[in-house]
Amino acid sequence: MQGIYFPGLGILFDKVLSAITILNVKLPMYAICVTAGFILALFIASKEAQRTGQNDEDYLDFFLWLVIPAILGARIYYVIFNHERFFQPGKSIGKTLIDVINIHNGGLAVYGGLIAGVLAGFIFARKRKLNFPLFGDSIALGVVAAQIVGRWGNFFNRECFGGYTNGLLRMAIPVNYFKSSYLQALRRDGIITDEMLNNQEQVNGIGCITVHPTFLYEGLWNLALLIFLLIYRKKKKFDGELAMLYVAGYGIGRFWIEGLRSDSLMVGPLKVSQLVAVICVVLAVGVIIKNRIDIKNGKTPKVNYIPPKADDSDDEDDSDSDSSDEKTSAKKESSKQEDKKSSKTEDEKSAKSEEKSEEKKKNKSDLKKKLQDKKSDDEESDDSDDEEDEDLYDDED
């Protein structure tokens, strides 16, 4: 039977394929989910790079370069902590090597891929002379999104589930889905337990084991973590803080979820992923605390943050955005003052010009008046001479 059921939620998938065939090519659903997650990671990381003033082409180059190191890291991690499955007495070197390389025989470990990714990112950032902490912040957002999508590959493969449960979120897998030899191997490795087989639940008349859907738990945890990081990114105090919050947040969730799983890699009595999760949380929290102390002591770590444009209506503008607004306002005020000064100067020039014009008019008027007065005096003088001549004539008579 190929169904997967969530009877507590009333959700029943009668046919869930582990692979699909396109043009006679069989494509595992696990590979499709991982590829989709990879593309989503690149998209989100590139968008964050653009937002923070980085070159998004660096991220395309890095993701293309990352594929092989990530797969190798995930596989090597799995083989190291599951070595007894691959390295057996009397087994030929050739057969052992083939089993190690064949990723269909066994699997890939997330933490191995993450560790390899960090090393690859460090080398890439140094080679390109990038700000590695800032580079890590952008990558962290993409990686956590990729994990949300990639984990659904475990759903299609009916793997990475937890122990027995009859809780609300229980996942029911038909027992007859597992072939006899495969079922025996799963029982031998403790992945399917007697408790599961003894407490089968009938779903549509089919006997099913009911287990914790740990892939779903991790997907929901990572979704909450992604939302938190997207909200907090504008308030981060130093480059690399988002990456450290991701490492710590994922570590906390993984420690809890790993405690529910029945297929964990072990080192002695300890679950490897829980041990690695504790180390990651301690290191990440330590880095965050150190940088916070440096800030209090006046050492301000570099934050490469570019505030949103003026038309961005986001209420979560940080102090950098406020500072930018103040500078813009100051520039506007300065421009206004300069305009006022310019206007005042023009007015003064206009007033002086009018005064000069009035003065010229007045001078012209005075000159005209003087000329008229002089003309009048000349006429009076002529009249007086005429009168004298008449008197002289009279005397002669």
pLDDT digits (tens, 9 = 90+) for 208-260: 999 999 999 999 999 999 999 999 999 999 999 999 999 999 999 999 999 99
Torsion angle in degrees (nearest 10) through CA of 337, 338, 344, 349: 170
* pLDDT tens-place values along the chain, 397 residues long: 689 999 999 999 999 999 999 998 999 999 999 999 999 999 999 999 999 999 999 999 999 999 999 999 999 999 998 887 888 888 888 888 888 888 776 688 999 999 999 999 999 999 999 999 999 999 999 999 999 999 999 999 999 999 999 999 999 999 999 999 989 989 998 999 999 999 999 999 999 999 999 999 999 999 999 999 999 999 999 999 999 999 999 999 999 999 999 888 888 788 999 999 999 999 999 999 999 999 888 876 667 555 445 444 444 444 444 444 444 555 555 555 555 555 555 555 555 566 666 666 666 666 666 666 655 555 554 444 444 444 433 444 3
CA 130 distance to own-chain centroid: 17
Containing 20, the helix (H) or strand (E) segment is strand 19-22
pLDDT at 81: 87
**Residue % of the chain over a pLDDT of 70:** 75
pLDDT at 94: 87
CA 332 distance to own-chain centroid: 33
What string of DSSP letters covers 118-130? Answer: HHHHHHHHHHHT-
Query: What pTM value is reported for the model?
Result: 0.74
In sequence order, what are the residues at sequence separation of 6 or more whose Cβ sits closer than 8 angstroms to the Cβ of residue 169? 6, 8, 9, 212, 213, 216, 217
Distance CA 187, CA 175 (A): 12
Distance CA 203, CA 174 (A): 9
pLDDT at 392: 37
Lookup: tokens for 205:
């008349």
Lookup: tokens for 303:
């934050």
CB 122 within 8 Å of CB 33: no
Distance CA 55, CA 130 (A): 10
Lookup: tokens for 343:
């206007």
CB 245 within 8 Å of CB 213: no
Q: What is the pLDDT of residues 372-395, one digit of tens each?
A: 665 555 555 444 444 444 443 344
pLDDT at 334: 54
